[in-house]
Amino acid sequence: MIIDPKDIPFQEVHKLMIGSIVPRPIALVSTISKNNRSNLAPFSYFNGVCSKPPTIVFCPARRGWDGSEKDTLINIRETEEFVINIVSESFVEKMVACSTDFDPEIDEFEIAGLTKKLSNKIKSPRVKEAKISFECTLNQIIEIGEGKAGSGFIVIGTIVLFHIEDSVYENGRINLAQLSPLGRLAGNSYSRSNDTFEIARKIQPLVLHWILGRSSGNLSFEIFRIYRQTLP
């Protein structure tokens, strides 16, 4: 099957994309308006960009029926800040309750029964139930498309503070089982992250050469020994 997206409605293109780009991590984004109204909405076009500075990206689309902008985007443009709350299975139903398009004056925290918690560096509240939250400032907003239904935006943010629950933090790493994050699929479907496997990545010769050139003698020998063990 070969499909040219120009030949089908954007709604059908959307179905192909959300059915193919799976599973997608979910960002439950909390913002505050210039009038101090809180907003909470999930977005699954979400990922990391780089770690120096720590940067994330998520993509709010225009509303499919009239092309209008979502409250999350409007708030971020006005305040230049937001919080990314990572969704765990323990509050997935409450997250889904936030996905409805409510009027701007409606507080999704109250609708969903989620708890506001003060952030440290920004005004936007974070979700107390989230085991990991990122306080973010706006880097930039990039508009994609012609400003109509089906088009959208890329929101790039800089993480200025990590909030990580002690139960999921182990020796500088995240305990996936304790975090229990969910992935977004098509339709009403979600995936769990408890079915995993590992594949060792072999060190490439050029990378090895760079490491050896920057390492002391004993460390270089140990790295080389480990590298030899990865060879077929």
Architecture of domain 5-192: Roll (2.30)
Average pLDDT over residues 79-103: 96
pLDDT for the residue 201: 74
- Give the pTM: 0.87
For the chain, the domains span 5-192, 197-232
Helices (H), the chain: 10-20, 71-79, 92-97, 108-112, 176-179, 205-214, 217-230
- CA separation for the pair 182, 184 (Å, rounded): 7
Dihedral sign from CA coordinates of 106, 111, 117, 120? negative
- So what's the pLDDT on residue 202? 72
Work out the number of other CB atoms within 10 angstroms of the CB of residue 146: 8
Strand pairing of 126-127 and 116-117? antiparallel
Which residues are 183's β-sheet partners? 25, 191
What's residue 70's pLDDT? 96
Phi-psi region of 66 (alpha: psi -120 to 50; beta: other; left: phi over 0): alpha
What's the pLDDT band for 211 if we cut at 50, 70, 90?
Answer: low
Does the pLDDT at position 3 exceed 60?
A: yes
Reduced to 3 states (helix: H, G, I; strand: E, B; else coil), residue 29 is: strand
What's the pLDDT band for 219 if we cut at 50, 70, 90? Answer: low
Q: What is the pLDDT of residues 177-208, one digit of tens each?
A: 999 999 999 999 999 998 999 988 776 665 65
Q: Please write the tens of the pLDDT for every residue from 18-51.
A: 999 999 999 999 999 999 999 999 999 999 999 9
